[in-house]
Amino acid sequence: MAKGKRVLSDIFETLFRVLKFQLFYNLFFFRHRSRVEIPKRVMRNFRWKILLLLPVHLIPLGVTLAMILLNTVGIYIGAELAGPSGDYDAVKLGAIQFAAKIHELFMQGSLSVAVIDIVRRELVSGEGVPFGALCAALGHDLTWLYSKELWGSVKAKYQRPIRKVRLILLIVVGIALSNTVGPSTAILMRPQSGTWPVGGTCKTVGIAHRSGCPSDGWGVIGDNYLSFWSSTNVTSSMIDKWYLGSHAALRLAGPGQRSGFYRQKGSVTRLPMANLAEPLGNVATHWLRAASTRNSRFQYREDVVFGIKNATQPIVEVLCHANGYETKDDYDRILVPGPGSRCSGNGHTWSLRSYRESDVMEQIWKRHSDDNITSPTLQFVDFSEAGNQRLRNASLGVFITLPASSATGKKVLGCSVDARWSNSTMTSSIKTNIRTVSNDEPPDFNDYGICAGHDGLKKIHISPGWANYLNPTLRNMSSDVFQHLAIAASLDPIWNYEEVPGNQSEWYKVNNEEWDTVIIAPYFEALLASLIANGLSLNYATATLQGYTKDDSVSRLLPRHSFGHRYDTIYQLPPGTNTSTMSEYKVHVDIEGYAYILSGTAVILSTIILSLYVVFVLGYIALLWTFRQYSTSWDSMSELTALAVQSPETSVLKNTTAGIYTSSIYSNKVQVVKRRCQNGDLKLALHFSDGGDSPKESEKVVTGEYYH
């Protein structure tokens, strides 16, 4: 073969061998290669040919660096992945997983080449390799990390122990990386779907004055919540959310009833504050404008969520008990559920207590005994001066008098109200151009009601005078708000009871001596809880955003980098503004969709693992360039087996042909030495060092020398 063709063949042989494509090399040079094996060199000393070894490392290394950079810097993709629009995300994610598998194979090949070369250098020119570590580089077997081969390698004796430690450590790291880079690249290459921080601001809410009607919005309670009760019965699943509309947002209420199939321990309602819901919509408008002008990627979002942490929300729990009296002589007390002072492990503890205040009792008895009253009446009472400590724990007392026309007969419902302020995160979601505002639910809210999460909620004392604003008499109507809402809830058959044959009302299908307390009371409880919670949520309802927007408000709303919350204020207060009646809140903005972002334990660990791979491979490339030598020998188990078969028999491996049970065998060092045959040819063999027996200087492998 001509010299030029020999050089070209040598280049292609090295390149294809490193890339594990030697079969293609054999097919490509089929006409020009020998049909039999020819002598070969173990170590070669041409630096420029070392460049042929780099593609196996640079390709996976470049992809790895790109993925690390992509997740570290962060990039928002949008509601769906890049490519054809439509329901193709599953196909796109499948293609990404396939690409991740290909990348895994490239990285494992890169690590295999590096570890094999390090072991090969120790075999040829170092102190040798422990027998237990000889084949470890070829298999990537994770079980080697807890095998007797590793333990035997650790016990091997070296003149320079640091070489042994370095060799074993490199093999361990190489095996560990080979088994972890696959899952890591699959995690980093696949974009995450979730909610990501994309800015925020600080806003100041000022209370202009303290007036306001707490009964505003009561009609919405009847339309959006209570009106559904007409189609329910004792086995129904009750409504779990309803909305209060306004010009800027829909506030989401979270009710919980003591009725229906899925019963809770108390009738509870929680509701976002109106004075925070309205300004939240104002911030949303500014952010949407900023996103459309400064970051086009945010326009392809799935949804945007604006939130205020540590926002206050009222939580109101009501529990009632029905009392029935025939004569005034029996009318010496009213039994009322009294809330405990603390929450127990099972939630709020309630127990029946006696209420005996004479003045209030007299008023209730008059209504109770007046046959001309045909509608239920409502009376708010201050329990703070009640004789019973349990009742003094209540925020407010309520008595509901049912008329004689009721299906239950004359009844008085004694109710206790436990109202508290709860810290929560208020969020406003923008989707299909509808803005909804809600509060996060306390943990175990459905099981423990007002005691959910912790017992540190601030108690609200409600005066009867303020509570009366919740129930004004309706103009041009003969009813008040409470009576109107009860009719909206289809509770009027209770007091407009007529025994008509075939009447199908649920209220008198039940035949139980306590059916009025068990069945009817929870409906009145839920009505009261929603009415009071709505009034509390309208506290300081006239509070508004203070200040005017700054000129650079657009840039202040968006994150400084790709992701992150930002709390630079976009509102400027006029000089000399009195801030004593103002409160500052931080609004954070989060966007939903696909993104590459360094977030989550799995992503962070995967980034660390792939970073270790980058350091490992770059260190090996530097080592390769420093020594100016390269080799492609013994990079497969079959080639190593051929070398072992042609090596002389050694007493070190006595009694091992059927297996090796002890770790001491693996402590013996192995080196590759050269031997001269009888015909003068040089060949290579494995040399086991037993008890410090080292090969002679003349037996060491020489760079550039050919061996048979």
Provide DSSP, 535-551.
HHHTTTTT-EE-SEE-T
Burial class (CB in 10 A: 0-12, 13-18, 19+), 570: buried
Retrieve residue 623's tokens: 């080592």
Residues near 386 by beta carbon (within 8 Å), at least 6 away in sequence? 355, 357, 392, 397
Given a contact cutoff of 8 angstroms between Cβ atoms, the answer to whether 45 and 627 are in contact is no
Residues near 282 by beta carbon (within 8 Å), at least 6 away in sequence? 248, 545
DSSP state of 520: I
For residue 151, the SS3 value is helix
Helix segments in 383-453, DSSP class H: 389-392, 445-448
Candidates 158, 169, 242, 287; CA nearest to 558 is 287
Query: What per-residue confidence (pLDDT) applies to 186?
Result: 93
Per domain, the residue ranges of the chain are 1-16+23-33, 39-191+600-707, 209-537
Distances (CA, A) of 677 to 115, 171, 650, 684: 31, 34, 18, 10
Map tokens 């976009």 to a residue: 570
| Radius of gyration in angstroms for the set of CA atoms belonging to the chain, rounded to a whole number | 41
Query: What per-residue confidence (pLDDT) applies to 62?
Result: 93
Query: What per-residue confidence (pLDDT) applies to 607?
Result: 94
Given a contact cutoff of 8 angstroms between Cβ atoms, the answer to whether 553 and 347 are in contact is no
Burial class (CB in 10 A: 0-12, 13-18, 19+), 652: middle
Candidates 275, 263, 409; CA nearest to 347 is 263
Task: Please state, in angstroms and rounded to a whole number, the distance separating the CA atoms of residues 381 and 398.
Answer: 6
Task: Please state, in angstroms and rounded to a whole number, the distance separating the CA atoms of residues 30 and 215.
Answer: 93
Query: What per-residue confidence (pLDDT) applies to 478?
Result: 76
Task: Please state, in angstroms and rounded to a whole number, the distance separating the CA atoms of residues 513 and 490.
Answer: 22
Query: What per-residue confidence (pLDDT) applies to 190?
Result: 92
Query: What per-residue confidence (pLDDT) applies to 149?
Result: 81
Q: What is the mean pLDDT of each run of 10 residues along the chain (708 residues)?
A: 49 57 56 65 66 80 94 87 79 91 89 84 82 77 81 83 86 90 93 86 62 69 76 66 70 74 71 79 79 75 82 86 69 79 61 81 77 81 78 88 68 87 81 68 62 65 90 81 82 54 41 52 86 85 69 75 78 75 80 89 94 92 77 74 80 80 83 78 80 68 75
Q: Parallel, antiparallel, or unpaired for β 434-439 and 250-256?
A: parallel
Q: Taking every pair of C-alpha atoms in the chain, what is the biggest distance, in angstroms?
A: 131
